[in-house]
């Protein structure tokens, strides 16, 4: 037997302290007696013999010394050497992708995978370290490198599958980096294999054992695409496009049910060939509807995965942007803004700006003018004055366009290479702004960016001192600018794939943003810190976004976005993984293990202390 | 004043009328009594007259002399003698302790034995040993039972501020308390005491030096005979206030028991050597049981 911490034996020096405690006076409570006449004689007897008699005969002292000695020995961590299996560093990857919710095996593929992972965990050699990772759209480390198997087991039992496609490559790379020494690392992947192995995996993954779950020939019907657009004949109405796929090797007879705002509107019977698809267009959706869904159901009742049977689409209806033009008079701006669709234009002279409630406009165009206090809406600032929120330092004569960001949506299809400017202000580029058009000297001629809650575009020159209003690119540029500056609602995109993030851009006056998932889980975010990235989109369905103002008293512009699996590959739940299983070469030989004995010693000390406690209370 | 009846109820009093105190020595008294002398033989012979005092039996009044002199005289006979009974009740603070209180028990015992003595026409004195000079008696005859009970009931424990007879500030010990026992008359001494005093031997020695018979009723409470204290304690002496620190574990309790037995044997041995009756009493014992069982068996009463 050896000791891991032999220095701890110095704690044995405390043993004499216990003996000293027995020699010290103790705190006594007073008791009145008729006379101490007899006790006086007794004390003389006791006093003459007490120290030696106690040390010789006190069972309590013996028990305490024994307990202290055992504790000292326990702290020194004695161990014995035994022959046993080499410990490993096990990485348990549990596939939490959408296909794992298939119930071709009972209760589900995911439950089977968890069960297999827990069995593997229990069979690991002693002293092994285990890491549990849930493979989802982004892999989640449930427990990292611990020898506490109960902790890992609890984490596995608590894991839940996602409704999204999994990023297997990222999970395997994470497993490799968390697994430590390659010789001891062993990756276990519990999966249905319903994915194609990424081609760019590194070669040094080491030992990978694939534990398959699920039936190999399980087919699936899915709505893999859904999209809404305005009806070309009547743009007040919308059309719905849906693609249904038969991801099996047998032909399917199915019914597509189209619903609007939760009410079934149309059933359409379809036949889909093996591994084929059927594209359907639903027209004449009711005007004013908020959302639509398409559900596929197999007439035979067979369907491997249910979460991709329904796809949702939000029926987006843009309102015209409310634009306020603050100018002493600019025919070019007035003309182009009047002509642009989806713009309601209002004009005001600069000197009368303060008489207008500017905060209610979506876009404010300041031409050769800036108020001391900026309004809340998005801004197009043309030729800002020297003093003000957007400072300029001097001017530049006849700047030439040298570079422009033609990939930016603001400059899409706008050819401004021939733009000439007679004189431009030298703008101090704010930190939040990105130059879109610059001269060879780096002087910006157009910047854009997100200043807190508002979007701002600045043109640091007078339009009437340039040929820009006369160019063909001008109306295109202005259309792009209005699109950029128009509020598109709080949600950035009306549809995302499950697991993909949604960007929420609350209105400036909003205090909080509340998101309700399809299963009515509600999350609140504080607004005012710029766009919010919402990533908890694992559940397919409709997410409702509320913007709350005035401390929760009101909500403004509730918005919806849809999350759909919308992924043929993810909906194909047939196992097709090959080439990953590579269990060896792992040195699984025997080794000498140090088996610590503290648990046994603790099991002795505890009852010993309990008995000591009992004996102490029994004697008095 | 409390009701004397608490010391002696009527039923017990009726039972006590059949009893008398027993003295094992020849005693000479000054008055007339029901006790037959061991010295004078068995015949009744007239010896003298003396003035009537309250409590004398009216049957012994010489009415002829009264008719001639208008003065009450009683006849006395040599064959009959008066037994002086001195009831010494230890009223130290150590006696005022225990459950039931030893002093209360001692008062009841003194009252009971006093009633027996009065009933037997003994001359009774009651001497509280508390440092005070108050005493009761002489009294004889059943008619004095009421005042005797009242006096006994009023016996108070010695107070801490009791003037000391010896020493500067220490309370009177048992021997010092005997200073209040001023009677020179011989008779039967009945000492009711716990003897919990270092001077117990001197005190008893002083009493046995007197002529007469003596009985020690050694009265201890159950808490003294079988202590239930435990743990680390500081014992405070009720009389002196002195403190003794002790850890009362099984060993200490056992040693105390040994010391107590040894001490009681020493007292008993002292009494035996000096012809003194000795009765160890546990205050848990009912008075009636004590009188009719213990004291009768030991020949203190008959």
Predicted confidence at residue B145, as pLDDT, reads 85
Asked whether the predicted pLDDT for residue B41 surpasses 60, the reply is no
Give the gap in angstroms from C-alpha B31 to the nearest C-alpha of chain A: 40
Predicted confidence at residue B46, as pLDDT, reads 59
- Tokens read off for A479: 């259309």
| Rounded alpha-carbon distances, angstroms, from residue A78 to A2, A11, A59, A129, A607 | 6, 15, 27, 22, 20
Asked whether the predicted pLDDT for residue B43 surpasses 60, the reply is no
Answer with the one of A445, A460, A485 that is the final residue of a domain: A485
| Mean of all residue pLDDT scores within chain A | 86
Q: Which residues of A touch B247 (CB under 8 A)?
A: 26
Residue A567 lies in a domain: no
The boundaries of the domain holding residue A298 are 221-318
Q: What is the pLDDT of residues A75-92, one digit of tens each?
A: 998 888 877 777 888 999
Exposure string (b/e) for A340-361, b if CB count within 10 Å is 16 or more? beebebebbebeebeeeebeeb
Answer with the one of A463, A485, A507 that is the final residue of a domain: A485
Asked whether the predicted pLDDT for residue B184 surpasses 80, the reply is no
Same domain, A369 and A344: yes
More confident residue, A43 or A543: A543
Same domain, A387 and A442: yes
Average pLDDT over residues A67-73: 91
Same domain, A330 and A314: no
* Banded pLDDT at B52 (limits 50, 70, 90): confident
* Banded pLDDT at A341 (limits 50, 70, 90): confident
Give the gap in angstroms from C-alpha A603 to the nearest C-alpha of chain B: 30
Average pLDDT over residues A577-597: 70
Q: Which residues in B have their CB inside 8 Å of a CB on A?
A: 94-95, 97-98, 102, 194, 196-198, 221, 224, 229-240, 242-252, 255-256, 259-260, 263
Fold adopted by B4-16+82-297? Rossmann fold (3.40.50)
More confident residue, A37 or B42: A37
Q: What is the pLDDT of residues A363-407, one digit of tens each?
A: 999 999 999 889 888 999 999 988 788 888 889 999 999 998 888
Same domain, A64 and A201: no
| CB-side neighbour CA atoms (13 Å) of A521 | 7
Same domain, A170 and A213: yes
Average pLDDT over residues A554-558: 71
Q: Which residues in A have their CB inside 8 Å of a CB on B?
A: 25-43, 45-46, 53, 619-620
Question: In terms of DSSP H, where are the helices of chain B?
Answer: 10-16, 63-69, 102-119, 145-153, 174-177, 200-208, 222-225, 250-273, 287-289, 296-297
Range of A57-71, A110-124, A278-292, B226-240 with top mean pLDDT: A110-124
What size, in residues, is chain B?
Answer: 302
CB contact under 8 A, A34 and B242: no
CB contact under 8 A, B194 and A35: yes
Q: What is the pLDDT of residues A105-162, one digit of tens each?
A: 889 999 999 999 999 999 888 888 899 999 988 899 999 889 899 999 999 999 999 8
The residue ranges of DSSP E strands in chain B, in sequence order, are: 35-36, 46-51, 73-77, 80-81, 84-90, 123-129, 136-139, 187-193, 212-220, 231-237, 243-248, 277-282
Instruction: Provide the CATH number for the domain around residue A201.
Output: 3.40.50.410
Q: Judging by DSSP bridges, how do beta strands A495-497 and A554-564 pair with one another? A: parallel
CB contact under 8 A, A620 and B230: yes
Same domain, A92 and A182: yes
CB contact under 8 A, A32 and B238: yes
Same domain, A137 and A199: yes
Predicted confidence at residue A19, as pLDDT, reads 80
Predicted confidence at residue B170, as pLDDT, reads 57
Same domain, A307 and A326: no
pTM exceeds 0.80 for this model: no
Give the count of domains, chain A.
5
Predicted confidence at residue A303, as pLDDT, reads 75
Q: What is the pLDDT of residues A20-32, one digit of tens each?
A: 777 765 667 888 8
Asked whether the predicted pLDDT for residue A52 surpasses 50, the reply is no
Same domain, A369 and A419: yes
Residue A29 lies in a domain: yes
Residue A568 lies in a domain: no
Same domain, A116 and A23: no
Same domain, A152 and A212: yes
| Rounded alpha-carbon distances, angstroms, from residue A586 to A89, A185, A206, A478 | 11, 8, 8, 65
Q: Which residues of A touch B249 (CB under 8 A)?
A: 619-620
* Banded pLDDT at A71 (limits 50, 70, 90): very high
Predicted confidence at residue A30, as pLDDT, reads 84
Asked whether the predicted pLDDT for residue A318 surpasses 70, the reply is no
Answer with the one of A303, A318, A333 that is the final residue of a domain: A318
Residue ranges of chain B that CATH labels 3.40.50: 4-16+82-297
Predicted confidence at residue B120, as pLDDT, reads 82
Q: Testing the interface with B: which of A30, A42, A50 to mutate, by most B Cβ within 10 A?
A: A42
Asked whether the predicted pLDDT for residue B20 surpasses 50, the reply is yes
What's the CA dihedral at B75, B76, B78, B81 to 10 degrees? 150
3-state SS assignment for residue A68: helix
Asked whether the predicted pLDDT for residue A282 surpasses 60, the reply is yes
Average pLDDT over residues A579-601: 72
Same domain, A516 and A505: yes
CA-based nearest residue in chain A for residue B95? A34
Predicted confidence at residue A14, as pLDDT, reads 86
Out of A100-104, A237-241, B174-178, pick the least confident. B174-178
- Tokens read off for A149: 């198997």
CB contact under 8 A, A36 and B250: no
Asked whether the predicted pLDDT for residue A346 surpasses 90, the reply is yes
Using a pLDDT cut of 90, give the percent of chain A over it. Answer: 38
Q: Testing the interface with B: which of A30, A31, A35 to mutate, by most B Cβ within 10 A?
A: A35
């Amino acid at each position: 037997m050896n000791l891991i911490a032999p220095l701890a034996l110095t704690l044995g020096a405390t043993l004499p302290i216990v003996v000293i405690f027995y020699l010290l006076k103790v705190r006594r409570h007073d008791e009145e007696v008729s006379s101490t006449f007899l006790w006086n004689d007794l004390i003389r007897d006791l006093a003459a013999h007490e120290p030696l008699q106690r040390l010789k005969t006190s069972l309590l002292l013996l028990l305490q010394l024994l307990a202290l000695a055992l504790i000292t020995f326990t702290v020194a961590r004695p161990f014995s050497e035994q022959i046993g299996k080499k410990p490993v560093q096990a990485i348990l990857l549990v596939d939490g992708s959408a296909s794992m919710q298939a119930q071709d095996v009972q209760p589900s593929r995911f439950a089977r995978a968890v069960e297999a992972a827990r069995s593997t965990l229990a069979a690991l050699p002693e002293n092994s370290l285990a890491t549990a990772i849930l493979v989802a759209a982004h892999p989640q480390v449930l427990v990292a490198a611990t020898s506490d198997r109960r902790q890992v087991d609890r984490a596995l039992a608590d894991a839940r599958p996602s409704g999204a496609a999994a990023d297997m490559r990222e999970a395997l790379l994470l497993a490799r980096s968390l697994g430590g020494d390659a010789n001891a690392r062993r990756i276990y992947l519990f999966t249905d294999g319903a994915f194609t192995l990424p081609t760019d995996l590194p070669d040094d993954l080491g030992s990978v054992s694939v534990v398959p779950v699920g039936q190999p020939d399980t087919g699936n019907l899915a709505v893999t695409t859904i999209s809404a657009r305005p009806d070309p004949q009547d743009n007040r109405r919308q059309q719905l496009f849906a693609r249904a796929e038969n991801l099996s090797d047998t032909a399917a007879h199915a019914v597509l049910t189209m619903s609007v705002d939760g009410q079934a509107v149309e059933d359409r019977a379809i036949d889909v060939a093996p591994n084929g698809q059927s594209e359907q267009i639903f027209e004449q959706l009711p005007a004013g509807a908020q959302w639509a869904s398409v559900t596929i159901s197999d007439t035979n009742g067979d369907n491997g995965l249910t979460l991709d049977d329904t796809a949702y689409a939000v029926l987006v209806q843009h309102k015209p942007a409310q634009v306020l033009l603050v100018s002493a008079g600019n025919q070019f701006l007035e003309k182009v803004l009047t002509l642009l669709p989806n713009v309601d234009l209002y004009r005001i002279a600069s000197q009368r700006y303060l008489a207008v409630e500017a905060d209610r406009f979506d876009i404010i165009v300041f031409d050769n003018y800036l108020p001391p206090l900026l309004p809340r809406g998005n801004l197009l600032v043309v030729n800002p004055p020297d003093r003000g929120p957007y400072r300029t330092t001097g001017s530049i004569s006849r700047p030439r366009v040298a570079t422009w960001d033609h990939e930016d949506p603001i400059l899409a299809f706008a050819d401004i290479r021939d733009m000439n400017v007679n004189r431009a202000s030298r703008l101090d580029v704010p930190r939040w702004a990105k130059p879109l058009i610059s001269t060879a000297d780096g002087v910006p001629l157009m910047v854009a960016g997100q200043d807190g809650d508002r979007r701002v575009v600045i043109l640091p020159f007078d339009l009437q001192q340039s040929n820009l209003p006369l160019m063909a690119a001008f109306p295109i540029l202005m259309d792009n600018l209005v699109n950029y500056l128009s509020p598109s609602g709080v949600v950035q995109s009306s549809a995302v794939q499950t697991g993909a993030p949604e960007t929420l851009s609350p209105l400036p006056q909003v205090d909080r943003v509340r998101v309700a998932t399809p299963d009515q889980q509600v999350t609140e975010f504080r607004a005012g810190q710029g766009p919010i990235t919402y990533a908890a989109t694992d559940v397919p369905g409709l997410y409702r976004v509320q913007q709350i103002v005035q401390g929760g008293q009101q909500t403004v512009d509730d918005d919806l976005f849809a999350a759909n699996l919308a992924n043929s590959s993810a909906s194909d739940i047939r196992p097709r993984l090959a080439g990953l299983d590579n269990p060896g070469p792992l040195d699984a030989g025997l080794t000498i293990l140090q088996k610590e004995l503290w648990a046994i010693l603790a099991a002795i000390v505890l009852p010993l202390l309990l008995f000591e406690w009992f004996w102490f209370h029994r004697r008095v | 004043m409390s009701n004397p009846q608490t010391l002696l109820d009527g039923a017990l009093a009726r039972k006590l009328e059949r009893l008398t105190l027993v003295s094992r020595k020849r005693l000479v008294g000054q008055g007339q009594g029901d006790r037959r002398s061991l010295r004078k033989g068995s015949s009744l012979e007239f010896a003298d007259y003396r003035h009537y005092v309250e409590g004398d039996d009216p049957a012994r009044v010489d009415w002829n002399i009264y008719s001639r002199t208008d003065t009450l005289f009683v006849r006395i006979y040599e064959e009959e003698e008066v037994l002086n009974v001195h009831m010494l009740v230890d009223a130290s603070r150590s006696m005022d302790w225990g459950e039931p209180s030893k002093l209360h028990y001692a008062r009841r015992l003194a009252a009971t034995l006093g009633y027996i003595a009065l009933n037997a026409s003994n001359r009774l004195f009651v001497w509280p040993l508390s440092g005070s000079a108050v005493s009761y008696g002489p009294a004889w005859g059943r008619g004095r039972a009421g005042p005797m009970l009242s006096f006994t009931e009023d016996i108070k424990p010695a107070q801490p501020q009791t003037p000391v007879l010896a020493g500067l500030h220490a309370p009177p010990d048992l021997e010092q308390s005997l200073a209040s026992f001023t009677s020179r008359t011989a008779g039967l001494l009945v000492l009711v005491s716990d003897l919990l005093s270092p001077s117990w031997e001197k005190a008893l020695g002083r009493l046995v030096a007197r002529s007469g018979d003596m009985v020690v009723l050694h009265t201890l409470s159950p808490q003294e005979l079988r202590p239930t204290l435990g743990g680390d304690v500081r014992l405070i002496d009720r009389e002196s206030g002195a403190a003794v620190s002790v850890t009362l574990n099984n060993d200490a309790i056992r040693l105390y028991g040994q010391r107590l037995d040894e001490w009681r044997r020493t007292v008993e041995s002292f009494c035996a050597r000096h012809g003194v009756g000795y009765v160890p009493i546990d205050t848990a014992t009912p008075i009636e049981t004590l009188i009719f069982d213990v004291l009768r068996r030991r020949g203190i009463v008959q």
